[in-house]
Amino acid sequence: MKSKYAPLVKLKKRELDHAEQNLISANNALMLASSELENAYSLLSSLELPTSGSMGELIQSQAIIQVQHYEIERCTDTLAKATQQQLQMQHQFKSAMIEYEKFNYLEIQETQAYSAKIKKEEAKMLDEIGVMTYKREPL
């Protein structure tokens, strides 16, 4: 028996799969942003100011460090956006899961009700056949 909820369950399952894929890519983006930030910090910690040399080398080193600070700031912003995106995708996934479970439950309930109805009709038919064979007069 085809349930009237079957197409909706299929649609909600597709939406759930799509939300799951979005959540996975948001998690990957978050991990990537986190590793970029760690790399930027490690690069900054490896940079050293020259202890001797010309003023040009000192200015160049300070500029490199300043650029690295900007890079860390950019990575921090990217990480914040990725975290926000991941939270949004988690919420979307949770909503899609609830919708799918709701329609799946309705489909199961409808199938069980139909099955109970069929069993009841079969029992009624068997009772009727039993009554007919009991009342049947021998020839």
Q: Which tokens in the block code for residue 78?
A: 């990217």
CA atoms within 13 A on the CB side of 110: 13
Q: Cβ contacts of residue 114 below 8 Å, gap of 6+?
A: 1
pLDDT greater than 70 at residue 19 = yes
Tokens of 134: 């009991």
Residue 73 DSSP SS3: helix
DSSP 3-state assignment of 7?
helix
pLDDT tens per residue, range 56-106: 888 888 899 999 999 999 999 999 999 999 999 999 999 999 999 999 999
Q: What's the mean per-residue pLDDT of the chain?
A: 91
Q: Which domains does the chain have, with CATH numbers?
A: 6-114 (1.10.287)
